[in-house]
Amino acid sequence: MRPTPYVASLRIYEPLSAFNAADRLRWQSIDITGQSYFDEEKFALQRTVVPEPPAGRPDGVHILEIDGERYVAPWSTATRCWAALDNFKDSLPSTVVPYFVSPAMEEVITAGVDLMEDKVPHILNETWVIPPRWFLLFLAEERERGENSDGLFTRARTTIAMAKARAQVAHETVLGAFGEGPVEQDLENLLAWLEMFHPKSFVELDYGGLAIYLDKALRDNGEDGLEADTSIEDVLKSVAGLAAADGLMAGQGYERLMSRWRRVQALESAN
């Protein structure tokens, strides 16, 4: 069982050539195993109990080898801790923040943040649900499902060039259908994030432990578990409906997607 089975991830794997010489040398010699995914979650969980400066230890990485070339997704722990704190503070009045995050805790989280040259994380996380905009970066044939030592899994992977092209089409479609607004802005932010990385990178969606919860939710609904998950297809159908000015088609795809993931979210309060 994963330490945080309710977390899904969207990752960017950049080629080693995108990093500095010291990181290239260190990461070139690391053995590729599935342990890095477990370790990332374990350390994140430990930090919620015993806070420590996120920049205080060497960061871990996830590694892929494709066609003989190595690609790396650093955990970006310090960056993500800093960004999470920043987003949390923006969501509350400044006078309320100290009741949730003490000045001492904030000092621990932000220690060394001024030394970070790049505050863009290679990994985005969501809990108990996967944002619809993540699915539109992929095609159904790029999805892989199965079972490993952590249980059931679902992943999808594509080149960053294809992901950007699909996100651009979706952004233009949503802008044309609805104009500027929250959905359009989310897509614009996703595009801006993708633009920050090497053009030969890969983008990966990992359901994480949510694959297990999704399988249960689908089976409880009388469906064939993960094999019945058509989240990618539903989002693409919705975008195609918007592009064709077919509101019925767009609505059907979106409702299928949301009804499926509402059942997963309901398991959060059931546990």
Q: What is the pLDDT along the chain (271 residues), one digit of tens a residue?
A: 676 788 899 999 999 999 989 889 988 888 887 777 877 777 666 555 555 555 545 568 899 999 999 999 988 765 555 555 555 556 667 676 565 556 655 565 555 555 444 567 899 999 899 999 999 999 999 999 999 888 899 999 999 999 999 999 999 999 999 999 999 999 999 999 999 999 999 999 999 999 999 999 999 999 999 999 999 999 999 999 999 999 999 999 999 999 999 999 998 776 5
Bridge partners, 127 (sequence order): 7
- Same domain for 231 and 167, yes or no, is yes
Domain boundary among 70, 104, 127: 127
Q: What is the tally of structural domains in the chain?
A: 2
- Same domain for 89 and 204, yes or no, is no
Do 105 and 178 meet the contact criterion of CB atoms below 8 Å apart? Answer: no
User: Which pTM does this prediction carry?
Assistant: 0.83
- Domain residue limits at 16: 1-127
Beta-strand relationship, 143-148 and 151-159: antiparallel
Bridge partners, 182 (sequence order): none
Distance CA 221, CA 244 (A): 31
Q: How many CA atoms lie within 13 A of 225 on its CB side?
A: 10
- Same domain for 139 and 260, yes or no, is yes
Distances from the Cα of 122 to the Cα of 60, 107, 189, 197, angstroms: 12, 23, 14, 9
